[in-house]
Amino acid sequence: MNTDELISLLAAGDTAVDRLALRRRFTIALVAGGLGAVLLMATLYGVRADIAVVGRTPLFWAKVALPGSLALLGLWLASRLARPGMRGGAVWLALAVPLLLVWLGGALALANAPPDARLGLVLGHTWHTCALNITLLSVPTFAGVFWALRGLAPTHLRQAGAAGGLLAGATATVAYCLHCPEMDMPFWGVWYLLGMLVPTVTGAALGPRLLRW
pTM of the model: 0.89
Burial class (CB in 10 A: 0-12, 13-18, 19+), 194: middle
What mean pLDDT, rounded, does the chain reach?
91
Task: Return the higher-pLDDT residue of 148 and 20.
Answer: 148
- 204 and 161 Cβ atoms separated by less than 8 Å: yes
Angle between helices 157-176 and 127-137 (to 10 degrees): 120
**CA 96 → CA 91, 141, 164, 193, 201, distances in Å?**
10, 23, 17, 12, 17
The pLDDT score that the predictor gives to residue 6 is: 43
The pLDDT score that the predictor gives to residue 19 is: 66
| Separation CA 115–CA 121 (nearest Å) | 10
- pLDDT per residue as tens digits for the range 132-165: 999 999 999 999 999 999 989 899 999 999 999 9
Task: Return the higher-pLDDT residue of 193 and 15.
Answer: 193
Burial class (CB in 10 A: 0-12, 13-18, 19+), 87: middle
pLDDT band for 195, please (50, 70, 90 cuts): very high
